[in-house]
Amino acid sequence: MEFILTLDKSLFYFINSFLSNSFFDWLMPIVTSQKNWNPIYIFLILFLIIKYKKNGLIISILLILSVGLTNLIGDEIKHLVGRLRPCRSLENLHLLVKCGPGKSFPSLHAANNFAMAVILSYFFRKNSWIFFSLASLVALSRVFVGVHFPVDIIAGAILGSLISIIFIKLSQKLNFSKIKNY
């Protein structure tokens, strides 16, 4: 376990400090900010419902349920594990955003974005590379700006993905699997 934590810390410093440059220092705080994504998520839900009618509503409900459950479970894990954020536990880091008061493990930004990527990829397979690229970019931004360790984003990605897979399997049992893949 000590080896993993040491590797995690080394990877954190590599991403957070070594990869730092003026372009990423400008871009990553924008990418990581939830307030920048919320209008996009609202637009996505409305777009799905308007364009795909009943199917879009079902996809939207699956997105909301998977993100909601991911938040609930992820928040409980954060309290159980109690890992401090790197911006609260490390020195000499490159902090680009305000260091939040919450715990670090798992990253809920990563969890939520991977939860959405899995659901959207299931229904829109041709575009799955876009969904997973965006989820990965948001997850990586959390390390880059100094508020999460790499293990936090990996755990978040796994958590969000697993919860969405469960919702997909449940939707198949309820015959929502007949929804057309676009």
pLDDT attached to residue 172: 86
pLDDT attached to residue 177: 55
167: confidence class by pLDDT, cuts 50, 70, 90? very high
Contact 153, 140 (CB under 8 A): yes
Residue 35 has pLDDT above 70, yes or no: yes
Mean pLDDT of the chain: 94
